[in-house]
Amino acid sequence: MSQDSDFEPLEKIVGEGLRTLVPLKAPPGLSSRVLDKIRAGPELAWWQQSIWCWPPLARAAFLFAALMMLLIVSGGGWFATPNAQAWNGAADRLGEVSALGTVAMTVGGWLLTVWEHSLQPWLPYLLGGAAVAYLLCLGLGTAVVRYAFRHS
């Protein structure tokens, strides 16, 4: 006996019971309220929406944080003078505190040297490549979606 035939008696009973029910009408304003909610879209918190929907202070704080991250990543080389980038004074002060400070400053100086001489020069190209890849994906995605909607 197949699984579909096991449910046939129950299906007939439920079907007959549903046919005997009186059709109900929705309240008069329900359909318009439902359609308004659908048109309004999901109610998201401001931080879950596009940045253009954020409060002005939050946008300014985000822009400030992004610029600070850019300064940290770039080492301030685009904005600061070479004197502002010198780490020698900090190394002297921490070196006197402990041997651990000396080791930390040595490793930090080595990492900074690797960053400045091998990774940082490529940063603008990497950011540019990432931006081009993002825009390419965005453009191709938009084109595919439009094509799919036109032909459906």
In a domain, 124, yes or no: yes
In a domain, 145, yes or no: yes
User: pLDDT class for 8, splitting at 50, 70, 90?
Assistant: confident
Half-sphere exposure of 29 (CA within 13 A, CB side): 2
Domain span including residue 108: 87-152
Please, which residues have CB within 8 angstroms of residue 79's CB and are 6 or more apart in sequence? 71
Percent of the chain scored above 90 by pLDDT?
8
* pLDDT, tens only, 38-59: 888 777 888 888 888 889 999 9
Q: Report how many domains make up the chain.
A: 1
Please determine, for residue 141, whether its predicted confidence score (pLDDT) is greater than 90.
Answer: no
**Predicted structure pTM score:** 0.33
In a domain, 109, yes or no: yes
In a domain, 119, yes or no: yes
Under a CB-based contact definition with an 8 Å cutoff, are residues 79 and 71 in contact?
A: yes
Q: From CA 70, how far away is CA 76, in angstroms rounded?
A: 8
Please determine, for residue 74, whether its predicted confidence score (pLDDT) is greater than 70.
Answer: no
Q: From CA 47, how far away is CA 31, in angstroms rounded?
A: 31
In a domain, 73, yes or no: no
